[in-house]
Amino acid sequence: MNWLYVVGIILFLLGLMVSIALHEVGHLVPAKLFGVRVTQYMVGFGSTAWSRRRGETEYGIKWIPLGGYIRMIGMLPPRPGDEPGKLRSTATGPWQGLIESARDAAQEEVRPGDDDKVFYRKKWWQKVIIMSGGPAMNFVLAFIFFSILLVGIGLPAWAPIVSPETNTCVIPISEQRAACKSTDKPTPAAQAGMKPGDHLVSFGGKKIGSWDDATRLIRSHGPGPVQVGIVRDDKPMTLSVTLIAQDRPNLEDPAKIDKNVGFLGVLPTEVMEKQNIGQVIGYMGELSGRVASSLVNLPNKMVGIWNAAFSGQERDPEGPVGVVGAGRMGGEILASDLSSEKKIAIFVNLLAGFNLAIGMFNLIPLLPLDGGHIAGGLWEGIKRAYAKVMRRPEPRYVDIAKVLPLTYAIAIVMMVMAGLLVYADLVNPLRLTN
């Protein structure tokens, strides 16, 4: 196995662990600022590999790098009647024992004098901030990574610079070959003395700003003579070129053929085009819309994952990818024949996209996700505002314990989905070449 492949997997897992750790910091910092007692801050699951206690919090790393958590006391309010002046509830049912056990577990770490340190007693907006901190940290990380990618490295773009792979002969579109024959006619560019590395800057007196500009100007001109401005070795010059008519694939739909369009006979050069911060925001916004669409269609996407895992169907490039699959992609990136610049760009893009997806997934308003707690806090704020306006007694804290049965069901579904993704990533992984 290529050692770079292993290094790529390790680097991605390290990046993922850092992202998880900072996600939990996003919860930890506001929790402590608002006076919630946090007993544990852990990165990973399973048995503890390392831990240290600082003050009232144990900080540690666990062996399975598939998540993390902070443990805050009093996440669930006590049962009605356990608080002074309240009547004890006598409700019974098939799930009641489970709910009450969860309440008891939430109260186990509450010590005398901790009344103001429990999570459920905090103001609704404080709860929202605490639970929003994790996804917010992922969004910040995604923005940082995307900024490094777009502003520092750039995005691949076709520049109007003659590529070394440009053919010097005219090959009919109907012939699927790359090499020239002795009977092939030279291209207009070759006849005019155009060379690899020449930068096209004007065409027929019109400025060329991009490869798209050059393509449209050349095609719309049709056959005939034209002056082409180029820069060669930092020196501007003008070449007289006589275009010919050729059949070429349509720019919008390559399956269609445009008849007798202007033809110069050059290929563009791929460059890394740097963007500005405003474009980073637009890029993230567009990608966020695609991620949101994928989350809405997640059930259908998981059907595709099932078919890919057990029927051998091709993986959807827009479908979900688990940690195992993303790790393998990280290995493929480093082991590929791409340039170092492109490897770094794709790797940074992978980490940025993963953070964006984690942040948006956690905002789904269902427990046990952060979004479920955020929804509970917002609902509590609405109830208290309504009571204040209507001059009614202040309502109790929103009791998320009542939805624990649904929470456990969703948790089971999430574990099944995670297991299916791991299996699909092993037997039918999504590859960079797909």
Q: Pick the last residue of a domain from 218, 245, 273.
A: 273
Name the nearest CA neighbour of 196 among 244, 264, 268. Answer: 268
Q: What percent of the chain has pLDDT over 70?
A: 95
| 241 in the same domain as 141 | no
| 171 in the same domain as 118 | no
- For residue 203, how far is the Cα from the chain centroid? 40
pLDDT tops 50 at residue 116: yes
| Residue-wise pLDDT tens digits, 338-384 | 888 888 998 899 899 999 999 999 999 988 889 999 999 999 999 99
Q: What are φ and ψ of residue 163, in 5° steps?
A: -80, 150
| 49 in the same domain as 139 | yes
Q: Which two tokens stand for residue 4?
A: 């770079």
Domain region containing 118: 3-148+351-413
d(CA 40, CA 63): 16
**Residue tagged 């006391």 (tokens):** 73
Name the residue type at position 397: Y
Helical (H) or strand (E) element with 237: strand 235-249
Other C-beta atoms closer than 10 Å to the C-beta of 35 total 12
- Is 24 annotated as catalytic? yes
Confidence bin at 433 (pLDDT 50/70/90) = low
pLDDT tops 90 at residue 212: yes
Note whether residue 316 is domain-resident: no
How many domains are there within the chain? 2
| 132 in the same domain as 81 | yes
pLDDT of residue 402: 79
What is the arithmetic mean of pLDDT over 100-105? Answer: 72
What is the arithmetic mean of pLDDT over 377-395? Answer: 91
Q: Pick the last residue of a domain from 219, 250, 273.
A: 273
pLDDT tops 90 at residue 106: no
| 133 in the same domain as 11 | yes
pLDDT of residue 334: 84
- Active-site entry in 24, 56, 109, 318: 24
| 247 in the same domain as 215 | yes
What is the arithmetic mean of pLDDT over 155-159? Answer: 90
Q: Are 347 and 9 in contact (CB under 8 A)?
A: no
Name the nearest CA neighbour of 302 among 319, 289, 288. Answer: 319
pLDDT tops 70 at residue 246: yes
| 140 in the same domain as 170 | no
Least confident residue range of 75-84, 181-190, 368-377:
75-84
Q: What is the DSSP string of 99-144?
A: HHHHHHHHHTTPPTT-GGG-GGGS-HHHHHHHHHHHHHHHHHHHHH
Going by DSSP bridges, is the β-strand pair 235-249/257-263 parallel, antiparallel, or unpaired?
antiparallel
Is the model more confident about 315 or about 87? 315
Max distance between CA atoms of the chain, in angstroms, equals 100
pLDDT of residue 84: 44
Is the model more confident about 323 or about 282? 282
pLDDT tops 80 at residue 95: no
Note whether residue 78 is domain-resident: yes
| 218 in the same domain as 138 | no
pLDDT of residue 312: 82
Q: Is the dihedral of CA 303, 306, 307, 313 positive or negative?
A: positive
| 119 in the same domain as 75 | yes
Is the model more confident about 25 or about 80? 25
d(CA 266, CA 161): 9
- Report long-range pairs for 217-223 (Cβ below 8 Å, ≥24 apart): 218/243, 218/261, 218/262, 218/263, 218/264, 219/248, 219/251, 219/258, 219/261, 219/262, 220/261, 220/262, 221/262, 222/260, 222/261, 222/262, 223/260, 223/262, 223/263
pLDDT tops 90 at residue 297: no
d(CA 163, CA 190): 13
Is the model more confident about 183 or about 371? 371
Whether this prediction's pTM lies above 0.85 is answered by: no
What is the arithmetic mean of pLDDT over 322-349? Answer: 86
pLDDT tops 50 at residue 277: yes
Residues 6+ apart with CB under 8 A from 192: 228, 239, 240, 241, 242
Going by DSSP bridges, is the β-strand pair 224-232/199-203 parallel, antiparallel, or unpaired?
antiparallel
pLDDT of residue 203: 94
pLDDT of residue 86: 43
| Residue-wise pLDDT tens digits, 252-276 | 887 888 889 999 999 999 988 899 9
Q: Pick the last residue of a domain from 218, 243, 273.
A: 273
Region class of 127: left (phi > 0), else alpha (psi between -120 and 50), else beta: alpha
pLDDT tops 50 at residue 245: yes
- For residue 177, how far is the Cα from the chain centroid? 38
Q: Are 214 and 208 in contact (CB under 8 A)?
A: yes
Note whether residue 282 is domain-resident: no
